[in-house]
Structure 1
């Protein structure tokens, strides 16, 4: 059998969602969940709902982005409050912290689904995500969350292609992991640290560094930008250092390897 085209995959996902009768989409406003929400709305109309968790680990501006994309799509959008730090194991920050976050979040999503008579929760994990360290994947599998991108073999670049076809504004939006990924494993996650990191990244984004991470190593900021932007960054080092120290960082450093997704997972290699 020849491999499925992107259009075939879209059609298959749409039909699979339609067969479910109703769906609650775990919706962050990133490209993956936005495409899934758009397909769910196409398949189910008013029987599809997108739910966004407003939480301390959500980067500044992401909630407003999610609201805007939901409006673009036309899907009903519900915002709930969820504080992952209320999950003791998550706050302790073990290497599988995402498992505890996802467990707690799905618990809250199930409450919404039950209240509204929705029988399926769907989530946008895609084929490309399976390559990395993804303990949250185990949680959603245990909880029976449906991942159509996995079922039909949809990779990240295909999702971006679908987003462009659908005219979604987030088609080329950089991936944005939750702010807890800026804290080294084994170091407790606090509201103060998350706020500090979020404000630091928002500041750097305001300077034009769209792809940026500020990793918080006990008050030492390890900043990741794209290698091509390092020279420009260094030209701003005095202003950046001053601002980040005012936010509470003791030292401000630039990671010479540049931005790479999941750099905190590098310590797990060989485990």
Structure 2
């Protein structure tokens, strides 16, 4: 790593430490993704590992692979993971899957943290990994839930965008430094189509199969009997070539889909919610 990268990480640690100077014990809403992992690492450097708790929300919308990876990252940082069962699937507004679905999910998470974790672990505050790029996006209703629960956003306040977060992750040698974004499984279901455990399971199974076939960054979108695969442009030809095409077809249909389609538009992060935001 370069001296510039080391200085950037040191400055980020100082910024976060300043924000947390009046916090005795901090809970970090943790997913194992690069943003929450860097926040967790910075919080540990600012407060010490004994004053930081990583809180992982567990529900049918969290893939088993993501759950395992989150524990690995937290172990690398030196903080145990406290799992809290969230029940967003019991909320009618969440199941209805409008563009504000993420609000109801995050509201459930922060409510559970407040009710089941904050007192038990004597938390003075809770923070989550919103970065400076996220602040400028209009398709993140979960941010409203965070604001309503007075959840801290140290990365965003420090002005750390996604690129800076990834550089810091590499400086800290976190195993998730180059991990692609992995939004919850419910994000693969088009808005106003009901979120159900079966649909989430189908997506999880299909995506796990694609990872075993060597794909890293992609989405399996759930359109009833059709699985629409979003892949980076560089992977489209590879996915359509034999024998991989047949193996993909077999793996995805075994997950419960009847048809498998490759989307020629490629990978489109946040496409479902963005389309609604742009039309409002």
Do Structure 1 and Structure 2 share a fold, with TM-score over 0.5? yes
Partners of 2:70 and 2:90 in 1: CA distance: 23
CA deviation after TM superposition for structure 1 residue 80, in Å: 1.9
Partners of 2:190 and 2:268 in 1: CA distance: 15
1:80-128 Cα offsets, whole Å, 9 max, x none, are 2223211221011011011111111100111201222211000001111
CA deviation after TM superposition for structure 1 residue 6, in Å: 5.7
Contact 1:60–1:199 (Cα < 8 Å) also in 2: no
Q: Does 1:161 align with 2:164?
A: no
Contact 2:13–2:45 (Cα < 8 Å) also in 1: no
Contact 1:89–1:97 (Cα < 8 Å) also in 2: yes
- Paired position in structure 2 for 1:124: 129
Contact 2:44–2:52 (Cα < 8 Å) also in 1: yes
Contact 1:163–1:170 (Cα < 8 Å) also in 2: yes
Moved more, 259-268 or 192-201: 259-268
CA deviation after TM superposition for structure 1 residue 132, in Å: 4.2
- Paired position in structure 1 for 2:194: 188
CA deviation after TM superposition for structure 1 residue 152, in Å: 1.6
SS of residue matched to 1:51: strand
SS of residue matched to 2:71: helix
Partners of 1:155 and 1:262 in 2: CA distance: 17
Instruction: Give the gaps of 5 or more residues in structure 2.
Output: 1-6
- Paired position in structure 1 for 2:39: 36
Which among 174, 177, 187 is matched to residue 180 of structure 2?
Answer: 174
Contact 2:95–2:194 (Cα < 8 Å) also in 1: yes
Moved more, 78-87 or 23-32: 78-87
SS of residue matched to 1:124: coil
Moved more, 108-117 or 199-208: 108-117
Moved more, 82-91 or 174-183: 82-91
CA deviation after TM superposition for structure 1 residue 257, in Å: 0.8
- Paired position in structure 2 for 1:245: 253
Moved more, 128-137 or 11-20: 11-20
Partners of 1:102 and 1:12 in 2: CA distance: 25
CA deviation after TM superposition for structure 1 residue 5, in Å: 5.6
TM-score of the pair, normalised by structure 2 = 0.91
Moved more, 52-61 or 63-72: 52-61
**Deviation above 6 Å: which 4+ runs of structure 1?**
none
- Provide closer, same or farther for how the CA distance between residues 233 and 57 of structure 1 changes in structure 2, counting only shifts above 3 A: same
- Paired position in structure 1 for 2:78: 74
- Paired position in structure 2 for 1:56: 60
- Provide closer, same or farther for how the CA distance between residues 56 and 253 of structure 1 changes in structure 2, counting only shifts above 3 A: same
How large is the Cα RMSD of the aligned pairs?
A: 1.5
CA deviation after TM superposition for structure 1 residue 49, in Å: 0.6
Partners of 2:235 and 2:57 in 1: CA distance: 32
Contact 2:14–2:46 (Cα < 8 Å) also in 1: no
Which among 84, 95, 104 is matched to residue 88 of structure 2?
Answer: 84
1:125-150 Cα offsets, whole Å, 9 max, x none, are 11111224001101100110000112
Contact 1:180–1:194 (Cα < 8 Å) also in 2: yes
